[in-house]
Amino acid sequence: MPDDVGRPTWSKLLALAATTILAVSACGGTSSSPGGGGASQPAAGGASQPAAGGASQPAGSATGSITVGMVGNPQMKELEKLKGKFEQTHPGATVNLLILPENEIRSKVQTDVSTGAATFDAVTIGMYEVPQYAKQKWIDEVGTALDADTTYDSADFFKSVRDGLSLDGKLYAAPFYGESSTLFYRKDLAQAAGVTIPDKPTWDEVVAAATKLHTNDVAGICLRGLKGWGEMGAPLGTVINTFGGRWYDAGWNAQLTSPETSAAIKFYVDTVKSVGEPGAISSGFTECETLLAQGKAAMWYDASSAADFLFDAKSNPTTADKLAVAYAPTKVKSPSGWLWAWAFAIESTSKNKPLALEFVKWATSKDYLQLVNQETGSWGGVPSGSRKSLYEVAGYKDYAKSFGPVIVDSLNTVDPLHATNFPDTPYSGIQFVQIPEFAALGTSCTGYFGDAIGGGSVDDAIAKCQADAEKVAVNGGYK
């Protein structure tokens, strides 16, 4: 988006944020959902390297204490258990972690960076926030330091993930894990019902299959119905794109009532109502993941990072061996999967940037991936989707053989700069519009759509969203 496009003041956005629930996906997180010391294991790429956290690693030079704010996804909770390994190799260093649900940590982080309160030294943020925070100089550029460390191997990041965490070609956050979106389904139920799910299904094929698989006890498909730009808004955003719709045209005229966008919204609402999960307006990422894991949903379209939990028999003993994965469903525009990463950024007001940087490097390193596997005895808790080489590590490659190729291909082909079917779309982003106001807009609109899922008029919901989107375009100075 051009730099000279008009924008509201951040003081107005903070006031707006105070009244807005910023519930995000994984975009969400898994499970968006998603032990040191032992013998050396093959590093990604084939070479042998010391086990993460092991005594052979050099002690860090930075000391003192830092406070890190993190979203409460399982991968981060695993990191909380392992932070002692970092402190062991950094004598005199203390890492204090604050882990909160996504809506809470987002609100705290935005307030912290925008006011310069310096509560945190490092924080987990995503692709929606990084360009905005970097432009405001609220977070430091980290790419120079990461690129200079050859043992860290920042070139190993998926290009799409690195690009999504950059501004003007400079990296401002180190990816912890990344994801696209995929369709998970019960292959045993599909076979029993005589249903074939193609590797690259259309939404029409998915709904036809869900209709056959839907019973009183098992939802045909689970789709997020929970209010929030990063809850329902994430999968719905990709449906809008692939149906040939978009939020705004080239002149920043709202497009919610356009034939393509309104058809996508109606399709989503109707699908949830007819073959979706009960109580859908309360179902976000976590709830849908739980339903699929418990055998109460036949399909689920959501974050690809959920695969690490779902296919891990240790974490998901009920359905791990009964699942399969397909690409994000399409209609007109392909591919349609989203792009997201949870990443560590260093606040510009941090009082201990050297230690914050060393912690960020440790948590996003190749060694850390090995550490999680060693300590848990499983690959299911490893933060994936950020480093290409993980998918070539022998143990993980075998573990991920049924879903890894789809995820890698999705991350290699996703294009947030061309997410819609129109070359003149004025914004970037796939499941979100890359403007500061979208957090509030997406949350209010998904609230209207949730009302429609609950029995209200979908036409009224679309009209209300259209009016809100027009106000954003005018008040924000975009048109």
pLDDT in tens, 330-383: 999 999 999 999 999 999 999 999 999 999 999 999 999 999 999 999 999 999
Q: For the chain, what percent of residues have pLDDT higher than 90?
A: 85
Distance CA 245, CA 469 (A): 14
Chain-centre distance for alpha carbon 145: 25
Lowest mean pLDDT among 24-38, 296-310, 454-468: 24-38
Q: Quick check: 44 pLDDT over 90? A: no
Q: Quick check: 50 pLDDT over 60? A: no
Alpha-carbon distance values, 109 to 123, 124, 270, 403, 444 (Å):
7, 9, 36, 33, 21
Distance CA 7, CA 116 (A): 21
pLDDT category at 104 given cuts 50, 70, 90 is confident
- Dihedral of the alpha carbons of 374, 378, 383, 387, in degrees to the nearest 10: 70
Whether 1-26+181-338+406-479 shares its CATH topology with 31-179+340-401 is answered yes
pLDDT at 265: 98
Handedness of CA 338, 339, 342, 348 (dihedral sign): negative
Q: Quick check: 42 pLDDT over 70? A: no
Judge: domain 1-26+181-338+406-479, CATH 3.40.50.1370: no
pLDDT at 232: 97
pLDDT category at 243 given cuts 50, 70, 90 is very high
Alpha-carbon distance values, 62 to 66, 98, 350 (Å):
11, 21, 14
Lowest mean pLDDT among 16-30, 163-177, 275-289, 403-417: 16-30
> Mean pLDDT score of the chain, rounded to an integer?
89
346 three-state secondary structure: strand
pLDDT at 331: 98
Q: Are 124 and 343 in contact (CB under 8 A)?
A: yes
Alpha helices (runs of H) in 165-284, residue ranges in sequence order = 187-192, 203-213, 233-242, 259-275
Q: Are 334 and 121 in contact (CB under 8 A)?
A: no
Q: Quick check: 398 pLDDT over 90? A: yes
Q: Specify the long-range contacts of residues 440-443, CB closer than 8 Å, at least 24 apart.
A: 440/16, 440/17, 440/20, 441/229, 441/468, 441/469, 441/472, 442/228, 442/229, 442/230, 442/233, 442/237, 443/20, 443/21, 443/22, 443/23, 443/227, 443/228, 443/229, 443/233
Q: Average the pLDDT over 192-217 and give the result.
A: 98
In this structure, how many other beta carbons lie within 10 angstroms of the beta carbon of residue 282?
12
Residue 448 burial by CB count (10 A; 0-12/13-18/19+): exposed, middle or buried?
buried
- Please list, in sequence order, all residues whose beta carbon lies within 8 angstroms of the beta carbon of residue 266, skipping any fewer than 6 positions away: 458, 462
Q: Quick check: 412 pLDDT over 80? A: yes
pLDDT at 61: 84
For the chain, which residues make up each domain, given as ranges?
A: 1-26+181-338+406-479, 31-179+340-401
Preceding omega of 335 cis (within 30 degrees of 0):
yes
Lowest mean pLDDT among 99-113, 255-269, 292-306: 99-113
pLDDT at 51: 37
Distance CA 30, CA 74 (A): 7
Distance CA 10, CA 19 (A): 15
Residue with tokens 């940087």: 357
Q: Average the pLDDT over 180-190 and give the result.
A: 98
pLDDT category at 30 given cuts 50, 70, 90 is very low
- Residue 222's beta-bridge partner residues? 300
Distance CA 427, CA 433 (A): 6
Chain-centre distance for alpha carbon 231: 10
pLDDT category at 101 given cuts 50, 70, 90 is confident
Q: Quick check: 34 pLDDT over 70? A: no
Q: Average the pLDDT over 296-323 and give the result.
A: 96
Q: For the chain, what percent of residues have pLDDT higher than 70?
A: 87
Which helix (H) or strand (E) element contains residue 438? helix 438-453
Lowest mean pLDDT among 29-38, 102-111, 127-136, 463-472: 29-38
CATH of domain 31-179+340-401: 3.40.190.10
Distance CA 280, CA 149 (A): 47
Q: Average the pLDDT over 449-477 and give the result.
A: 98
Residue 303 burial by CB count (10 A; 0-12/13-18/19+): exposed, middle or buried?
buried
For residues 461 and 2, which has the higher predicted lDDT (pLDDT)? 461
pLDDT at 73: 87
In this structure, how many other beta carbons lie within 10 angstroms of the beta carbon of residue 213?
23
pLDDT category at 60 given cuts 50, 70, 90 is low
For residues 409 and 47, which has the higher predicted lDDT (pLDDT)? 409
**Which of 25, 67, 53 lies closest to 349 in space, CA to CA?**
67
Q: Are 81 and 52 in contact (CB under 8 A)?
A: no
Q: Quick check: 47 pLDDT over 60? A: no
Distance CA 52, CA 39 (A): 10
Q: Average the pLDDT over 284-303 and give the result.
A: 96
Phi, psi of 66, deg, nearest 5: -135, 155
pLDDT at 74: 86
Q: Quick check: 139 pLDDT over 80? A: yes
